Structure 1
Amino acid sequence: MLNQILRRKALPSVDDKSVAGGLLRNLSLFQLTLMGVGSTLGTGIFFALAETVPIAGPAVVLSFVLAAVTAALTALCYAEVSSSLPVSGSSYTFTYMTLGEGAAMLVAACLLLEWGIAGAAVAVGWSSYLNDLITIVSGQQIPMAIRTAPFVDGEEGWVLSGQSYVNLPAVVLVWMCTILLLRGSRESAIVNAILTLSKLGVLALFVLMALLVFQQENFVPFMPFGIEGVGAAAAIVFFSFIGLDAVVNASEEAINPQRNIPLAIIAALIVVTAVYVLVAVSSLGVQPAGDFAGHQGSLTMILQRATDAPWLAGILAAGAVMSIFSVTLVCLYGQSRIFFAMARDKIIPEALGKINPHSRSPSTGILVSAIIVTPLAAVVPSHMLWSMVSLGTLVTFIAVAIALIVLRSYFKRQPPGYRTPFYPLVPVLSIASCLYLLFNLSATVYQLFAIWLCVTVMFYFLYSRRRARPQ
């Protein structure tokens, strides 16, 4: 049993350019970069301020920087590992090849948390911005009964609000993205590129308008909740950097992955970090930290306060509606590619890795991803989900840093392209910074995570261990 838990997949040849499993290499460097930017900018910047400014105050700017530094350290590790192992499955496959089957199964559980919960949480947030847009344009609102989650987080745990039955717009978004993904990765990448460029333009408009009414006194006191508040907020906003994993998930569909995957990871990280800091600073310049709780922390409300021009807020709401679509799209894409890699190894049923001969995409895996995400998007409020996304992301980032150390020290692997600078300092710092952010998550998050891991371990021993055939 122990031998099987520690069993590794064979490393691919360094110069192997074949397409395993039938996926088509058709994603360029530009499309890969925008995939990373698109999946990142639509999460943290549209939702995180309302969640984190009340925790950290104006020092939330430092929280974004701290999370970005942690992501940057991991990005350098990701770049080399993905260059050395240009295969589908991201951290799951990297771990399978370096640490063995048991560790890979745990990382897969974290990845499914990361992508599935993120997709649901983003879809929930989309409903709010869609309602803002409809209100600004028509003066009407989507009925409360069908646009918010029926469950709320009360003092005694989850309770029914009594005012809502289902978040219908979130469900509709999930299935619109599913239909697009079923058409193929190339079509999905083109749509994502268009939406991401539109998003960057809308956010640039927001920053410009906000800076015109900037008030420096809103930054005093700068750190009202101390360094603890900065760390707690950084742990939450770390979910904003799941876009790095989205790029790596496309390794088997990328043109020249040894070159383009590392470049896309680093380029995406630079772009999103700059945008995060600019939007956070300009938002705090518009209104004091005490006004960010709840819906007042949305970018639409901040811009309306800054300009007193509903039509500008309408443009931002429209941009948010379009850009959040691209995030949900990439989340479902990422989860389906994890399913594809696991099914190819027979860790889960092989049907989830079946390639549609027309679209050359794993159609069954896409549909199952949508089926899993739909109930979460329909009934669970987003603030209950973000911390779980951060935990899953941090654990997978730690696994990537360890995979790099194993590749260098045990396998003596020398990638043909990018190499992480200042090795082994960078992977060690990456692990340490991820652990620091993990320690800032709440006990409730760890309790839920422990339950999920127990389910994963049971599935592994009852199903996967006897059927797994790594390829």
Structure 2
Amino acid sequence: MDLFRKKSVDQLVAESTPLKRTMRTFDLTMLGIGAIIGTGIFVLTGKGALTAGPALSVSFLLAAVCCGFAGLCYAEFASMAPVSGSAYSYSYLAFGELIAFIIGWDLILEYALQAATVSAGWSGYFNKLLEGFGLHLPVELTAAYGTTPGVTTYFNLPGFVIVLLITWVLSIGINQTKRTNDIMVMIKLVIIVLFIVCTVWYVNPANWKPFSPYGIYTFQPNSTQPYGIVPAASIVFFSFIGFDAVSSSAEETVNPNKTLPKGILLSLAISTVFYVIMTLIMTGVVPYQQFANFIDAPVAGVILATGMNWLAFIVNLGALIGMTTVMLVQLYGQSRICYAMSRDGLFPKFFGEVHSKYRTPFKGTWFFGLLTAVAGGFININILFELVNIGTLSAFIIVSAGILWMRHTQPDAHRGFRAPLVPFTPICAIVFCLVLIAGLNWETWVRFAIWFGIGLVVYFAYSRKRSKLNGGEAAAETAAQTATV
């Protein structure tokens, strides 16, 4: 059996099972912004400022450039093969089944772990919002077990409930999903603009000096954590994760050859502008050293420093909305990856069953939604967010390398969008990803290797012999015969 058996573009398109096509450029752009703008601004800017100082804006720009090069590669693949599955499907096309399975397995970790991690941050902002109305949840139900030092906690009830609500929205149809996301993203952007307009007058340029106190990359005495622009970029890269989920919507997109590339690149560009402006203002209002006092809620801390307490409630609401859209897009992308892998026989048929009424992978959506809700409710996963980064960077490297390979092996294949300056663009994407991976700690590598090993066991024990390309039992079924609930 060939571990690197491939699919052709025609085969990928022919096997796709059209879901309900309603997504247009605006919806895709909102989907991308919904995934990108959230945790990065409302949570990670605190740790990022302590790591890079005012140069955090450069760190965000570095992470954005990395994603930009990768985004161009994603856009070309999306225009070649407008099918569900994102990097998984693209790897099947370029490198074959084993690499595709590994990337799909990698993406499952990325989407689930990010959604669960964000649910913990969402819970914190939700509790603060309740406190503003004089309401208090039992402290035991406000965080996962052992998350809050000095406080006994057992279960993150708000995080658990919000993941279930998002799963319900995703399961009942793409129209409901896109409308919910579009509305929340627009509200979030309005709140962010309000924050910028209100706080820019409090910027003190003296707080930007020295602009880069730790340089590009350095270690401080008595610290194992690297400091500087590159380590901070490795941290805030988490902020940009999710734009790749836009390409997972190919089978629900109108005219995907053109709209997918536009949605991917527009969402990246708009989000980057907001991140750079926000970080410059935040480090201009408050000296970067003081972010240690409000590392978990940096935006709220900046507002309190200005004395505009009335703005705190509005921004807390914006944080809730921002993180909700992040979770929505991550859970959406995860369900579509599993749907594509099930259709290829690499996952059980259960994950590929499409609901006859809602035209969504109903059971698979609820399966992973429940798992993510439980993970966010019970497990202290804050230390694992770097796993999401290394997993995503690995996927970006594979997709970028795939563009190099496809340009060499299939130069005449139809491409609705062509990444510019190839091979320069994909090579830059690979180099930037490797630089950011180098900024992660060794524990992250160990955890990633363990997850990688589990994936290989699953592939050789189950997926390899059941693959449709293997001619096994799954081969008799075609995408057009996908079971309905």
Q: TM-score, normalised by structure 2?
A: 0.91
Deviation at 1:300, TM superposition (A): 4.5
Counterpart amino acid of 2:422?
Y
Q: 1:117 aligns with which of 113, 118, 142?
A: 113
Give the structure 2 partner of residue 11 of structure 1: 9
Structural mapping, 1:304-383, within 5 Å = 304-381=303-380, 383=382
Give the structure 1 partner of residue 169 of structure 2: 180
For the residue of structure 2 that corresponds to 1:292, the secondary structure is helix
Structural mapping, 1:239-258, within 5 Å = 239-258=238-257
- Is this contact kept in 1: 2:17–2:251, CA < 8 A? no
RMSD, aligned α-carbons:
1.9
Q: Distance in 2 between the 1:362 and 1:161 partners? A: 42
- Is this contact kept in 2: 1:283–1:302, CA < 8 A? no
Give the structure 1 partner of residue 182 of structure 2: 193
Q: Distance in 1 between the 2:103 and 2:293 partners? A: 33
Q: 1:38 aligns with which of 29, 34, 38?
A: 34
- Is this contact kept in 1: 2:18–2:251, CA < 8 A? no
Deviations 1:438-461 (A, max 9, x none): 111000111110110111011111
For the residue of structure 2 that corresponds to 1:358, the secondary structure is coil
Give the structure 2 partner of residue 156 of structure 1: none
| Residues 265 and 294 of structure 1: CA distance in aligned 2, closer, same or farther (over 3 Å) | farther
Give the structure 2 partner of residue 67 of structure 1: 63
Q: Distance in 2 between the 1:288 and 1:297 partners? A: 16
* 41-50 vs 424-433, greater mean Cα deviation: 41-50
Give the structure 1 partner of residue 481 of structure 2: none
Counterpart amino acid of 1:35?
L
Deviation at 1:372, TM superposition (A): 2.1
Q: Distance in 1 between the 2:381 and 2:426 partners? A: 32
| Residues 53 and 142 of structure 1: CA distance in aligned 2, closer, same or farther (over 3 Å) | farther
Give the structure 1 partner of residue 482 of structure 2: none
Counterpart amino acid of 1:10?
S
Deviations 1:48-81 (A, max 9, x none): 1122222112111111010011011111111111
* 318-327 vs 286-295, greater mean Cα deviation: 286-295
Deviations 1:229-282 (A, max 9, x none): 211111121122223212101011110000000011111011000000011111
Structural mapping, 1:420-431, within 5 Å = 420-431=419-430
Deviation at 1:355, TM superposition (A): 0.3
Q: Distance in 1 between the 2:370 and 2:410 partners? A: 39
Q: Distance in 1 between the 2:424 and 2:84 partners? A: 27
Q: Distance in 2 between the 1:260 and 1:107 partners? A: 24
Counterpart amino acid of 1:211?
V
Q: Percent identity?
A: 35
Deviation at 1:311, TM superposition (A): 2.3
Q: Distance in 1 between the 2:210 and 2:296 partners? A: 19
Q: Distance in 1 between the 2:203 and 2:44 partners? A: 20
1:433 corresponds to 2:432: yes
Counterpart amino acid of 2:82?
P
Give the structure 2 partner of residue 78 of structure 1: 74
| Residues 294 and 145 of structure 1: CA distance in aligned 2, closer, same or farther (over 3 Å) | farther
* 144-153 vs 25-34, greater mean Cα deviation: 144-153
| Residues 54 and 381 of structure 1: CA distance in aligned 2, closer, same or farther (over 3 Å) | farther
Q: Distance in 1 between the 2:351 and 2:52 partners? A: 42
Deviations 1:175-220 (A, max 9, x none): 0101111110111011100000000000111111221111112222
Q: TM-score, normalised by structure 1?
A: 0.94
Q: 1:163 aligns with which of 148, 152, 174?
A: 152
- Is this contact kept in 2: 1:232–1:437, CA < 8 A? yes
Q: Distance in 1 between the 2:429 and 2:290 partners? A: 34
Give the structure 2 partner of residue 157 of structure 1: none
Segments of 5+ residues of structure 2 without an aligned counterpart are: 218-227, 470-477, 479-485
Deviations 1:323-377 (A, max 9, x none): 2211111111010000000000010101101000111000111011112212321
Q: Distance in 1 between the 2:413 and 2:4 partners? A: 23
* 349-358 vs 49-58, greater mean Cα deviation: 49-58
Q: Distance in 2 between the 1:440 and 1:325 partners? A: 28
Deviation at 1:299, TM superposition (A): 4.4
Deviations 1:113-143 (A, max 9, x none): 110111111111101111221222x244433
For the residue of structure 2 that corresponds to 1:209, the secondary structure is helix
Counterpart amino acid of 1:201?
V
- Is this contact kept in 2: 1:124–1:377, CA < 8 A? yes
Give the structure 1 partner of residue 406 of structure 2: 407
| Residues 368 and 143 of structure 1: CA distance in aligned 2, closer, same or farther (over 3 Å) | same
Deviation at 1:382, TM superposition (A): 5.3
Q: How many residues align?
A: 460
Q: Distance in 2 between the 1:22 and 1:252 partners? A: 6
For the residue of structure 1 that corresponds to 2:8, the secondary structure is coil
* 80-89 vs 209-218, greater mean Cα deviation: 209-218
- Is this contact kept in 2: 1:286–1:305, CA < 8 A? no
- Is this contact kept in 1: 2:294–2:301, CA < 8 A? no
Give the structure 1 partner of residue 473 of structure 2: none
Q: Distance in 2 between the 1:163 and 1:432 partners? A: 44
Q: Distance in 2 between the 1:162 and 1:213 partners? A: 36
